[in-house]
């Protein structure tokens, strides 16, 4: 079912929010990855 039959422009549909959250989570995961992979590099000076 196509989502744009909703005429409510300011409040996105559930499907749009779901997809956006998934994509956002992927982004956050990727941003954190270098830190986990390299936590042994955190050596105090």
Partner 1 sequence: MSAVIHEELHHEAPPTGFKRWLYSTNHKDIGTMYLIFALVMLFVGGAMAMLIRAELFMPGLQIVNPDFYNNLVTDHALIMIFGMVMPAAAGMANWMIPMMIGAPDMALPRMNNMSFWLLPAAAILLLSSMAVSLIPGTGTPVNTGWTIYPPLSLQTGMGMDLLIFAVHLLGVSSIMASINIVTTILNMRAPGMTLMKMPLFVWSWLFTGLLLILVMPVLAGGITMLLFDRHFGTSFFDAAGGGDPVLFQHLFWFFGHPEVYVLLLPSIGVLGLVIPTFSRKPLFGYKPLVYFMVFLFALSLVVWAHHQYTIGMSLGVTTYFMIGTILISIPIGLMIFNFIFTMWRGAMTFETPMLFGIAIIIMFSFAGVTGVMLAVVPADLQYHDTYFVVAHFHYALIPGAVFGLYAGVFYWLPKWTGHMYDETLGKIFFWWTTLSFNLTFFPQHFSGLAGMPRRIVDYNIMYVEFNQISSIGGFLFGLSHLLFLYIIIKTVKGGEKAPAKPWEGAQIGTPGLEWTLPSPPPFHTFTTPPQIK
Least Å from the CB of residue 1 to partner 1: 9
Name residues whose C-beta falls within 8 Å of residue 22's C-beta, 6 or more positions apart in sequence: none
Binders in 9-38 for partner 1, by CB under 8 A: 9-13, 15-17, 19-20, 23-24, 26-35, 38
Report the alpha-carbon distance of residue 17 to residue 14 in Å, rounded: 5
Contacts with partner 1: how many residues (CB under 8 A)?
34
Q: Where does this chain bind partner 1 (CB under 8 A)?
A: 2-5, 7-13, 15-17, 19-20, 23-24, 26-35, 38, 41-45
């Amino acid at each position: 079912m196509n989502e744009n039959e909703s005429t409510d422009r300011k409040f996105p549909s559930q499907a749009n929010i779901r997809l956006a959250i998934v994509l956002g989570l992927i982004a956050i995961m990727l941003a954190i990855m270098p830190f986990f992979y390299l936590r042994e590099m955190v050596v105090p000076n």
